[in-house]
Amino acid sequence: MRLALVTDAWAPQVNGVVRTLATTVERLRARGTDVLLVTPDRFGSFPCPTYPEIRLALARPGAVARMIEDFGANAIHIATEGPLGLAARAHALRRRRPFTTSFHTRFPDYVAARFGLPLAWGWRYLRWFHGPSRSVLVATPSLAAELATHGLHQTRLWSRGVDLTQFRPGLAMPEAYQDLPRPILLSVGRVAVEKNLEAFLALDVPGSKVVVGDGPALAGLRARFPNAFFLGALSGEALARAYSGADLFVFPSRTDTFGLVLLEAMASGLPVAAFPVPGPIDVVGEGAGVLDHDLARAVIGALRIPRAAAIAHARRFSWDRAVGQFEAAIRDAFGALPAADPGVTPAAPSPAPAPLVSRT
């Protein structure tokens, strides 16, 4: 299989979408799939309004089309609904080529939170964008059901995994935790309005509140919640130690489609307190956390859960299984795929992304 994977989300962006795509591509290549990455780093770009660290590609549709055709792709997967996704979609429709898409981000919710636009406008765009797709890959059954209510019925499950060698219990405690009153309540992710961190930081519960991550809302939240501890973006072992040394993971977001940080936290031995919304409903198993519309009550209840229960639940999620789901969905959508043509020289792949930090 020669797969052209088109995404507006790529390094140096730091989020769960990038981590999911990078891990999937790495493992697909290990399985023998030739993958062309069409990513923003291959074009000129400009900063996304209100998200300056996210670069939007300045790519002519013809340039994207040439990359796909020169690569000799016999499968096209469009991961995002941005400029590159639009260019690839237009090319596929113009050439009457089938393609698949994936739904990673609650675009309508984010636009509503940032610009006050009606949710219906965002969903209208998503129905238009994903409507011609052979399959729309989604992370959870709840998300599939939600998309069906908006007229997108051709969904396939593409779950996620966790690296149990990196995220594990028993690591040395971060120095920043040494003098903090227990329990340590941790939240990891992008510090932005759509992550609803105020719901966590305003809780009247015992212990210390710690936030790991960076984003446009960081300065404002630091000023409003001086008793919380903001550690900024962490990566690698430092991030793993931040999880392992805490007592509970609090996930206040109501807009995530999955939440890789939930798996990382549970693998590190942290029970989860969250709202009962898509994402946590599918990811946090019974006995590994507490989901409640009263987040304070969820925190108190989750503190009683043994760390071993969270670890056992996280071990049910495998990247190998998730990548297998992706590969099966692609093959089913495109039918019998011919072997790679040895006479076709693949386009130069995008470089591997830099190590990721404090993912969402």
* Domains detected in the chain: 2-161+318-334 (3.40.50.2000), 175-314 (3.40.50.2000)
| Three state DSSP letters for the chain | CEEEEECCCCCCCCCHHHHHHHHHHHHHHHCCCEEEEECHHHCEEEEECCEEEEEEEECCHHHHHHHHHHHCCCEEEECCCCHHHHHHHHHHHHCCCCCEEECCCCHHHHHHHHHCCCHHHHHHHHHHHHCCCCCEEECCHHHHHHHHHCCCCCEEECCCCCCCCCCCCCCCCCHHHCCCCCCEEEEECCCCHHHCHHHHHCCCCCCEEEEECCCCCHHHHHHHCCCCEEEECCEHHHHHHHHHCCCEEEECCCCCCCCHHHHHHHHCCCCEEECCCCCHHHHCCECCEEECCCHHHHHHHHCCCCHHHHHHHHCCCCHHHHHHHHHHHHHHHHCCCCCCCCCCCCCCCCCCCCCCECCC
Dig out the tokens for 328 from the structure: 């099966």
Q: Could you report the average pLDDT of every consecutive run of 10 residues in the chain (360 residues)?
A: 95 87 96 96 81 77 95 97 95 97 80 71 93 97 94 97 96 96 97 94 98 94 98 95 98 94 98 96 94 98 98 96 96 70 39 38
Give the CA distances from residue 44 to residues 55, 57, 63, 85, 338, in Å, rounded to whole numbers and listed in that order: 9, 6, 12, 15, 34
Q: What is the pLDDT of residue 16?
A: 87
Would you state the pLDDT for residue 107? 66
Taking alpha carbons only, the member of 180, 311, 206, 186 closest to residue 248 is 186
Structure confidence at residue 86 (pLDDT): 95
pTM for this predicted structure: 0.87
- b/e map 315-344, b = 16+ CB within 10 Å: eebebeebbebbbebbeebbeeeeeeeeee
The pLDDT of residue 336 is 55
Predicted local distance difference test score (pLDDT) of residue 147: 95
